[in-house]
């Protein structure tokens, strides 16, 4: 038996007026998922434990079978693992986003507006040059900067503390004053980074091209070094991770899963969907892997951007270029398989951030084809009456561990 989880990040949503009251998942043309749902099972599952923040970190840990209540120690430490940051127990890791702040003349830093948490999904190359400039000017014994992927960098705070910090993607279009760190060192570095980056040649060039400048560092997601048991020890399966984002790669590093790099996979709308799917099939059919986790970031990013059309497109790409390719690849291979398709959490367009609402899942077993009439979406999943209480139960279901 082979096992696949296809994770559409932030794919779940709310009914939208302009879509005749449908959700993007319901409105999108997804013939492959709808076929699998008819031959499989749909239902809903709560991936975010009560009292925890709805994030890709907590939710993806849960979907991979790691109870976030027990194993979650912050988001940034997981990403730090993926970019090879050496962490000791007294270190605090922070996410350091390269963000776009408004650049009006004659106003104070605090009066600026956060326009983009991703600096227009800035390319890693440009982003690293900018971060390295900040590093050259601000790094000292206590604060160490590390380059990540796209706008997602990391900062290690020696003997720091786990502070409450605002997530930049929750406040797009708002003035930043209420969301700035209370800690004076962090605030100083944020302000300073704006001065360093505002007129950097890369940003001048970006603005000329109509791209958003990466003009400020934004710290959030503080946490301590995680302690995760190995996936293979826990579930007896050899697993591989296919994701463009450091958080998921870090979870894979922390759990001893193999990270598969796919050229052109970037976490954006135009990622290499087929490449991911083919790499997953290859891992299962040629490389002796039992389980692959294919993570697609695009629906979440489009949710944060607030674009209904692009979110629908991301879901249609997921269906056509990932689910279809995986299904065909495994059908051709011939060994029985199970596929679980689900989001980690909703990222509703109307609020452009994550919620903790239960998400719809689709479970398909090539040996147990059913004859249902439902399609895969939030409404029908809820109406099915199938409900799984906790995210970490999904992998138990996938592996049929009694
Ligand atoms: Zn997510």
Reduce the DSSP state of residue 386 to 3 states and report it. Answer: coil
Residues of 120-158 as b/e, b for ≥16 C-beta within 10 angstroms?
Answer: bbbeeebbbebbebbbeebeeeebbbbbbbbbbbbbbbe
Q: Is the pLDDT of residue 402 over 80?
A: no
Residues in the chain: 402
pLDDT tens, 177-208? 999 999 999 999 999 999 999 999 999 999 99
Whole-number Cα distances in Å, 229 to 3, 61, 65, 70, 274 = 20, 12, 11, 11, 31
Q: Are 350 and 16 in contact (CB under 8 A)?
A: yes
Dist. CA 244 → ligand 1 center (Å): 13
Dist. CA 344 → ligand 1 center (Å): 5
pLDDT tens, 259-304? 999 999 988 899 999 999 999 999 999 999 999 999 999 999 999 9
Would you give the DSSP letter of residue 326? H
pLDDT of residue 86: 85
Dist. CA 185 → ligand 1 center (Å): 29
Do β-strands 291-296 and 239-242 pair in parallel, antiparallel, or remain unpaired?
Answer: parallel
Exposed/middle/buried for residue 234 (C-beta within 10 Å: 0-12, 13-18, 19+): middle
Average pLDDT over residues 297-320: 96
pLDDT of residue 329: 98
Dist. CA 60 → ligand 1 center (Å): 7
pLDDT of residue 266: 85
pLDDT tens, 34-82? 999 999 999 999 999 999 999 999 999 999 999 999 999 998 999 999 8
Q: CB neighbours of 316 closer than 8 A, spacing ≥ 6?
A: 28, 29, 30
Q: Are 39 and 371 in contact (CB under 8 A)?
A: yes
Please state, in angstroms and rounded to a whole number, the distance separating the CA atoms of residues 31 and 37: 10
Whole-number Cα distances in Å, 133 to 108, 144, 395 = 23, 13, 43
Dihedrals φ, ψ of 181, to 5°?
Answer: -65, 145
User: Which residue ranges make up each domain of the chain?
Assistant: 2-69+229-399, 91-223
Encoded tokens for 349? 């367009």
Torsion of CA 267, 270, 275, 277, to 10 degrees: 70
Superfamily of domain 2-69+229-399: Alkaline Phosphatase, subunit A (3.40.720.10)
pLDDT of residue 149: 87
pLDDT of residue 359: 98
Which helix (H) or strand (E) element contains residue 145? strand 143-149
Please state, in angstroms and rounded to a whole number, the distance separating the CA atoms of residues 58 and 56: 6
Dist. CA 68 → ligand 1 center (Å): 14
Reduce the DSSP state of residue 201 to 3 states and report it. Answer: helix
DSSP string, 46-96: --S-TTS---HHHHHHHHTT--HHHH---HHHHHHHHTT----TTEEEEEE
pLDDT of residue 37: 98
pLDDT of residue 267: 82
Q: What is the pTM of this model?
A: 0.86
Dist. CA 354 → ligand 1 center (Å): 7
pLDDT tens, 363-394? 999 999 999 999 999 999 999 999 999 999 99
pLDDT of residue 401: 65
In percent, how much of the chain has pLDDT > 70? 100
Dist. CA 333 → ligand 1 center (Å): 31
Average pLDDT over residues 237-252: 95
Dist. CA 20 → ligand 1 center (Å): 26
Q: Is the pLDDT of residue 139 over 60?
A: yes
Per-chain mean pLDDT for the chain: 96
Whole-number Cα distances in Å, 335 to 161, 245, 292, 383 = 50, 30, 15, 32
Dist. CA 10 → ligand 1 center (Å): 5
DSSP string, 303-319: HHHT-HHHHHHHHHHII
Average pLDDT over residues 99-105: 97
């Amino acid at each position: 038996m082979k096992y696949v989880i296809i994770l559409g990040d932030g794919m779940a949503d709310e009914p939208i007026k302009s879509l005749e009251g449908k959700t993007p998942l319901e409105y999108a043309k997804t013939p492959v998922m709808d076929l699998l749902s008819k031959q499989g099972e749909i239902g809903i599952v709560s991936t975010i434990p009560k009292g925890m923040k709805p994030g890709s970190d907590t939710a993806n840990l849960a979907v991979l079978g790691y109870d976030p209540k027990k194993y979650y120690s912050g988001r940034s430490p997981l990403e730090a693992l993926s970019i090879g940051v050496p962490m000791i127990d007294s270190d605090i890791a922070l996410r350091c986003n390269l963000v776009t702040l408004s650049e009006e003349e004659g106003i104070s830093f605090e009066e600026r507006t956060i326009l983009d948490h991703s600096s227009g999904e800035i390319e890693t190359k440009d982003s690293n040059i900018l971060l390295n400039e900040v590093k050259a000017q601000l790094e000292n014994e206590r604060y160490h900067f590390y380059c990540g992927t796209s706008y997602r960098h990391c900062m290690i705070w020696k003997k720091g503390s786990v502070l409450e910090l605002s997530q930049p993607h929750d406040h797009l279009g708002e003035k930043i004053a209420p969301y700035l760190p209370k800690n004076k060192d962090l605030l100083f570095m944020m302000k300073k980074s704006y001065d360093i980056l505002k007129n950097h040649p890369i940003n001048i060039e970006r603005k000329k091209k109509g791209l958003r400048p990466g003009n400020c560092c934004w710290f959030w997601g503080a946490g301590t070094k995680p302690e995760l048991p190995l996936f293979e020890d826990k579930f007896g399966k050899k697993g591989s991770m296919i994701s463009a984002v450091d958080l998921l790669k870090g979870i894979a590093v922390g759990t001893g899963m193999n990270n598969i790099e796919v050229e052109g996979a970037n976490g954006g709308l135009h990622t290499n969907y087929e490449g991911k799917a083919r790499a997953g099939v290859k891992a299962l059919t040629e490389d002796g892997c039992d389980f692959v986790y294919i993570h697609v970031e695009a629906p979440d990013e489009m949710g944060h951007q607030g674009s209904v059309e692009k979110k629908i497109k991301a879901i249609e790409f997921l269906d056509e270029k990932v689910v279809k390719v995986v299904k065909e690849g495994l059908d051709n291979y011939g060994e029985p398989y199970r596929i679980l398709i689900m989001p980690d959490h909703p990222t509703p367009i109307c609020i452009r951030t994550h919620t903790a609402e239960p998400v719809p899942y689709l479970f398909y077993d090539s040996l147990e084809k059913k004859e249902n009439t439902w399609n895969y979406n939030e409404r029908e999943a809820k109406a099915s009456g199938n409900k799984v209480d906790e995210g970490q139960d999904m992998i138990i279901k996938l592996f049929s561990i009694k």
